[in-house]
Amino acid sequence: MSDPRVPEPVLEVSGLSVEYVLDRGSVRAVDDVSFTVGRGEFLGIVGESGCGKSTLLFAIAQLLAPPARVDGGSVRFQGTNLVGLTDRQLAATRWRDLSVVMQSAMNALNPVKSIGAQFKDALRAHGVRRSDEIAARSAEVLRMVGIDSAHLRSYPHQLSGGMRQRAMIAMAMLFTPELVIMDEPTSALDVVAQRSLMVQIKELQESLGFAIIFVTHDMSLISHFSDRLLVMYAGQVSELGATRSVFDAPRHPYTQGLLEAFPSIRGAKVPLKGIPGSPPNLAIIPNGCRFHPRCPMAFDRCSEQAPDLYERDGSLVRCLLYDDAAAGSATQQAGGRADA
């Protein structure tokens, strides 16, 4: 487990905001998000549907397409701000130092080209021309993910779901990048394949030393693999801290609600509640704290003042309960509001 204070940042996201420009006005899908990722660190970004995590990922990887656009903030990768660079300027960094693994391999891999041909495309696009080098490197990355190199000749549909995802990861490893961004690469897999893929990813990370940003909605899966966890809600960071700390002592009421919504197969069987209501429509966000309409611990100020990120025991929490100035009035009323 690495220290939340990252000594050698590979990626620094500062105040990043993304908006969707629509006919009737624009909607902010990502609002003022900041975090850093250190060398070799595994950062998990979790949230439910509509929280903006995928948009955030696309913004970092500079893959946003109209009507989405970065509305503010910076994404510094190894010192250079990626926001505003052209495709040609980005090409040098892309795949060499920063690669992306998408959610569904069937959608990301070209179905009419063999795996080997797609690796070759990627290698040649970055200057590797000799066929013996191409063959060697392709076989090597496949071996890294546990696939026999004979499958270089296979087409994506001939591989099983788990193997396809591994092939995607192998492709992302072609140039041993510093940072790999993954968007829910395990969602389409069964639970056994999910676990083995995660183990594989973690092993690769430990042997090659790259950093990972892993976006998922499956908190329980990521909890065993990430160093730090960032919880998103309604486009904002609601909690950010060391994984174990977030799980053992969740601070934000949303994180608490989320963790309590997971039934367990071990231990006592207890009735669970979930979180009433649903995430807000980002075109009409609530006044004050975005979570307050659903929060069992909301008090008066929550509907008036939007909380900043406050620090507590090494974690950041966006909740007025942790605003020391407001703490006084909060403790008087905390727990008084019954949930729906």
- Binding stretches for another protein (CB under 8 A): 14-16, 21, 23, 32, 34, 48-49, 66-67, 69-74, 83-84, 146, 160-162, 190-196, 199-200, 217-221, 223-224, 247, 257-259, 261-267, 269, 271-276, 278
Shortest reach from residue 203's CB to another protein, in Å? 9
Shortest reach from residue 261's CB to another protein, in Å? 5
Residue type (1 letter), 18: V
Q: How far apart are CA 202 and CA 169, in angstroms?
A: 12
Q: Which residue number, 134 or 298, has a Cβ lying nearer to another protein?
A: 298
Q: Which residue number, 47 or 116, has a Cβ lying nearer to another protein?
A: 47
Q: What is the largest CA-CA distance in the chain?
A: 71
Residue pair 35/74 in contact by the 8 Å Cβ criterion: no
Helix (H) or strand (E) holding 19: strand 9-22
DSSP for 248-268, written as a single string: HS--SHHHHHHHTT---SSS-
Q: Which residue number, 198 or 330, has a Cβ lying nearer to another protein?
A: 198
Shortest reach from residue 224's CB to another protein, in Å? 4
Helix (H) or strand (E) holding 161: helix 161-172
Q: Which residue number, 96 or 202, has a Cβ lying nearer to another protein?
A: 202
Q: How far apart are CA 192 and CA 136, in angstroms?
A: 31
Shortest reach from residue 259's CB to another protein, in Å? 6
Shortest reach from residue 253's CB to another protein, in Å? 12
Number of H-type helices and E-type strands within the chain: 11, 12
For residue 57, which of 180, 201, 221 has the smallest C-alpha distance?
A: 180
Q: Which residue number, 38 or 250, has a Cβ lying nearer to another protein?
A: 250
